[in-house]
Structure 1
Amino acid sequence: MPDKPNIVFIMSDDLGSASSFTGTQGVNTPHFDRVAREGMFYSRCYATAPTCAPSRTAIFTGMYPTELNAQHHHSEPDFPDYVKHLAEHLRAGAGYYTANVVKTPDKYPFITIGKRDYCWSRQHDPSIYDGDDYAELSTHQPFFAEFQIFEPHVPHHSLQRYAAEGLGVDPEQVELPPYYPDTTETRRIWARYLCAVQVFDAKVGMVLDMLEGDGLLDDTIVVVLTDHGRDMPRAKCSLYDAGIHVPLAIRIPAKYRPADYAPGTISDRLISGVDIAPTMLSLAGIDPPPFLAGAPFLGSRAQVRPLAFAHRDRVLTHIDRMRAVTDGRYHYIRNYMPNQPAIPAAVLRTDLEVMTDDMALEMLRLRAEGQLTPEQEDVLAEVRPDEQLFDNESDPHQLHNLADDPQYLPILRRMRTALQLWIAQTQDKGFLPEPAEAAQKGAWAVPLWQQVTKGEYDVEDYGVYDLPASPEFAQMFQ
């Protein structure tokens, strides 16, 4: 038994909040549910960004991307030397062996692509990790290991393909958010997303099975998390709850549990993505560096967070600047470029399967036919309000903007001021112009996808489990 706990991250790409544990209709996620049930589930965890690269930068550095000039999606800025990856802190501070696992036992389907995808010039630096082979973990304890799982990122398989693997979802059994139209096609799109969520959950089960079979589970903290919301309009790329409110489940073996950890419970304490790295350092017995923006939420060093902040800047060729703050109940969004459309153009390209948003395309078709409600029309808005304020308790889908309601003026002022102070205190670099060369490089997805697929990619050519093993995905996401 190691003196310190092993730590395993099982991380999804674009998960959103769907799970049977949280009551999502039509989906079954027994393995995620197990971690949440045997561990603690955190119901108020917020990503710092609604796209993968900046959000993952915050998770693994414990610092806001906006203070590191890492706010733009797929940018690669240099950081000061003191900024380190969580894996590097664990290795230097407590001798952890670190791995971004790619190689797994033969009896398991392909589980992980070893994704990094940070907004950082060092994202491909081989020195961040010691290895990538699961087989090395048992002889190198304590270890920190990531299992970076692709699902439920698009593209999705057909419903028939998922059903053939025992992962089918009945479109008639799902429940759509009210800001999406309820039609046969939108139900099928939503059901395919839930099928992909079940693929992720199956892979969670595989990782748990490996750890349990090798006698490692009782020595290992298991963290199941994601980077941001689902790959659909008003979620990914947006600062609404659906874009940044994410599930977090942590299972800690009895011998490593801090006094404030209560297995089998749901915590409503507010958590930001920047808090995850310092919490893991604290659980490993390491004092988090004082310059980290985040703070532990477990253990003797735990701090209470009153507010969680988030940002959204350039994504591919879509230039935007949004900031948000929430106290868990009230959710304030500031749109600094309200004339920018809500939907990034890249997600409307059907030849860019790794980005294509079928829900957005279907909603555009329905709008042309006059079949959307005002709330659904708003999802596709070409112009947005300068300020938005929502009460999550009375309006969980955030349909009613309270920013112009005099009754809520004190709350609006409080949230607006808190956001302004955060921008000032973190020296938010998003208000500086991005160099043209960096922006051009950050829009790499379109030409690279066309180059590596040569227009011949078809998601159905790959199995449900080994989709990310294709060379296209390996190149796109490494």
Structure 2
Amino acid sequence: MNQLSLTRRDLLAAAAATPLLATVACQSVPIPAPTESNPARARPKAVPRHLIVLVSDDQSRIDMSGSGNPDCHTPNLDRLAQSGARFERGYVVVGVCKPSRSALYTGLYPHNNGAIGFVPVRDDVRTWCELLQPETCATGMIGKLNVKPVSKFRFEKWVAPKKVGDARAGDAIAEALRDMIRGFGERRMAIVVNLKDPHRPFREPLVDDDPATPIPHDPAKIHVPAKFADTPETRAELAHYHDFLWRLDRTIGSVLDVLDETGIARDTLLVMTSDNGRPFPFAKTTLYEAGINVPFLVRWPGVIEPGTRSDAFVSLVDLLPTALDMFGVDPQVPLDGHSLLPLLRGEVASVRERFVGEHTEHLKGLPNPSRSIRDTRFKYIRNYPAAEDFKSNVLEFSMTWNSWMKLAKDDPVLRERMLRFMRRPPQELYDLESDPDEMHDLAGDPAHATTLARLSAELDEWMRATKDPLSRA
């Protein structure tokens, strides 16, 4: 396989160049009546009046009690899932916060919007705020923006993190949302609420005087993931992380209450997701499932059947196209994402047959690019040559990783696993059906050579079609 060895300057320069539904809700925005010249409008399609997107910070799909995690206590997230749809294959396009959020607000993969890492989107790329104008809908933001340049992301109303306890104070967030909804009055709304939990730093465990609460979580009772080394430091950080997940869930509950109190819940398409996976090794900043497979819960009263579970591939890159479809806005240029309204209305079974992830660079170290593609069973990862070992702030600020470094001196199995993480092989292949933790790389197994070649070719085709600068064409 011909590989490319690229510098950060090269990458920046290249970048610059299964129905879900019940009956139609009576509260949906009406579609214009049919005319003689357009009989297709004879059956109006449901369209939500409002869109609210809740984005947690560093949460993997598995980090909810409803996803089978025995350490999680997330009754409000479970309540939200039961009132709508839980998408098991919800993905971010990149497992890093800023480029992931840039993809959300542009509907484009990083190599197409320019934000391949912690750099701004290109000037010629139109964003959420530039496409959704005040005459179309009111746009609001609560919490951190975390995209650049700020001039291209001017929400009509923005409540900065410091006004809501660094976007961790549930009561303050709920009050800000209540005021925003009331301030927008009778207008249609597109509001994004960016929640800081369960992001690091993990300093002290949370404390609550109520004996019924699960915090602080007991490190001794935490279940350690299969890919992790079981050290006291690992258990302590996982316990703190689950404390923050519990606080996140309480905030979600407060937000759901506000939507009910203000009377807009029945008219709102509500999406809850995350910007990337959990802040641990083999997760955030990687293309492994724990890094890019995130919660994706969707509620649309009267349209989505409560308690629905779906295996359709959906992504944060689909949220802007969905908003544009809702509010009748033409993006004027092709987007990488797809409107989810046809899927949610049950008109199609899926919006894509496979999902592609990409990683190019992070805050630490030189570019360490990789691309991935997965179908309903297998995931293929292609790692491009890098000038140095993989680095990220997840490793630098992690007591977990540092404890593994010490243990690995006398544990050859752990040492090999960590070396493969820092010095990725050219190709990786995993059977997600039998190996959801991605423990067994099948890339060198002759029995899976055909699958590897097929997915490699499909990734090449996608990269050429989307003008990825790493395309071997």
Quick one: which amino acid aligns to residue 76 of structure 1? P
Is the Cα contact below 8 Å between 1:54 and 1:71 reproduced in 2?
A: yes
Is the Cα contact below 8 Å between 2:55 and 2:272 reproduced in 1?
A: yes
Q: Which residue of 2 aligns with 1:100?
A: 141
Q: 2:408 aligns with which of 363, 367, 370?
A: 367
Rounded Cα–Cα distance in structure 1 between residues aligned with 2:412 and 2:237: 17
**Superposition TM-score, scaled by structure 1 size:** 0.77
Q: Which residue of 1 aligns with 2:425?
A: 385
CA-CA distance at 1:189 after TM superposition: 1.4
**Cα deviation code 1:329-384 (max 9, x no counterpart):** 2111111026642443x4454xxxxxx2222122112223x246348733674422
Rounded Cα–Cα distance in structure 1 between residues aligned with 2:111 and 2:133: 26
Quick one: which amino acid aligns to residue 55 of structure 1? S
Q: Which residue of 2 aligns with 1:212?
A: 260
Rounded Cα–Cα distance in structure 2 between residues aligned with 1:130 and 1:184: 44
Is the Cα contact below 8 Å between 1:14 and 1:231 reproduced in 2?
A: yes
Is the Cα contact below 8 Å between 1:342 and 1:380 reproduced in 2?
A: no
1:217-366 to 2 correspondences below 5 Å: 217-254=265-302, 257=303, 261-286=304-329, 289=332, 291-299=334-342, 303-319=350-366, 320-337=368-385, 340-344=388-392, 346-349=393-396, 356-366=397-407
CA-CA distance at 1:226 after TM superposition: 0.3
Quick one: which amino acid aligns to residue 312 of structure 1? H
Is the Cα contact below 8 Å between 1:60 and 1:86 reproduced in 2?
A: yes
Q: 2:451 aligns with which of 401, 406, 411?
A: 411
> Are residues 1:25 and 2:70 paired?
yes
- The 1:70–1:431 alpha-carbon spacing in structure 2 relative to 1, beyond 3 Å, is farther
Quick one: which amino acid aligns to residue 26 of structure 1? D
Q: Which runs of 5+ in 1 are unaligned?
A: 102-113, 350-355, 433-478
- The 1:413–1:126 alpha-carbon spacing in structure 2 relative to 1, beyond 3 Å, is closer
Rounded Cα–Cα distance in structure 2 between residues aligned with 1:295 and 1:32: 25
Is the Cα contact below 8 Å between 1:330 and 1:389 reproduced in 2?
A: yes
Rounded Cα–Cα distance in structure 1 between residues aligned with 2:403 and 2:414: 16
- The 1:362–1:26 alpha-carbon spacing in structure 2 relative to 1, beyond 3 Å, is same
- The 1:49–1:379 alpha-carbon spacing in structure 2 relative to 1, beyond 3 Å, is farther
Is the Cα contact below 8 Å between 1:339 and 1:383 reproduced in 2?
A: no
Quick one: which amino acid aligns to residue 28 of structure 1? H
The number of residues matched between the two structures is 400
Rounded Cα–Cα distance in structure 1 between residues aligned with 2:439 and 2:87: 24
- The 1:89–1:140 alpha-carbon spacing in structure 2 relative to 1, beyond 3 Å, is farther
> Are residues 1:153 and 2:199 paired?
yes
CA-CA distance at 1:193 after TM superposition: 0.8
Quick one: which amino acid aligns to residue 268 of structure 1? D
Is the Cα contact below 8 Å between 2:198 and 2:245 reproduced in 1?
A: yes
- Three-state SS of the structure 1 residue aligned to 2:280 is coil
- The 1:115–1:394 alpha-carbon spacing in structure 2 relative to 1, beyond 3 Å, is same
CA-CA distance at 1:277 after TM superposition: 2.0
- Three-state SS of the structure 1 residue aligned to 2:341 is coil
- Three-state SS of the structure 1 residue aligned to 2:379 is strand
Q: Which residue of 2 aligns with 1:443?
A: none
Is the Cα contact below 8 Å between 2:464 and 2:471 reproduced in 1?
A: no
Q: Which residue of 2 aligns with 1:127?
A: 154
Q: 2:190 aligns with which of 140, 144, 150?
A: 144
Q: Which residue of 1 aligns with 2:50?
A: 6
Is the Cα contact below 8 Å between 1:98 and 1:129 reproduced in 2?
A: yes
Is the Cα contact below 8 Å between 2:233 and 2:399 reproduced in 1?
A: no
Q: Which residue of 1 aligns with 2:104?
A: 59
Rounded Cα–Cα distance in structure 2 between residues aligned with 1:249 and 1:381: 31
> Are residues 1:40 and 2:81 paired?
no
Is the Cα contact below 8 Å between 2:91 and 2:294 reproduced in 1?
A: yes
- The 1:428–1:164 alpha-carbon spacing in structure 2 relative to 1, beyond 3 Å, is farther
**Cα deviation code 1:202-253 (max 9, x no counterpart):** 1111111222222222222211110111101010111111111111001112
Is the Cα contact below 8 Å between 1:181 and 1:372 reproduced in 2?
A: no
Greater shift after overlay, 146-155 or 261-270? 261-270
**Cα deviation code 1:29-68 (max 9, x no counterpart):** 0111111110101001111001011111112211111122
Q: Which residue of 1 aligns with 2:42?
A: none
RMSD of the TM alignment (CA)?
Answer: 2.5
> Are residues 1:185 and 2:233 paired?
yes
Rounded Cα–Cα distance in structure 2 between residues aligned with 1:129 and 1:411: 48
Is the Cα contact below 8 Å between 1:228 and 1:246 reproduced in 2?
A: yes
Rounded Cα–Cα distance in structure 2 between residues aligned with 1:316 and 1:239: 16
Q: Which runs of 5+ in 2 are unaligned?
A: 1-26, 30-47, 160-175
% of aligned pairs identical?
A: 29
Is the Cα contact below 8 Å between 1:71 and 1:311 reproduced in 2?
A: no
Q: Which residue of 2 aligns with 1:75?
A: 119
**Superposition TM-score, scaled by structure 2 size:** 0.78
- Three-state SS of the structure 1 residue aligned to 2:200 is coil
- Three-state SS of the structure 2 residue aligned to 1:294 is coil
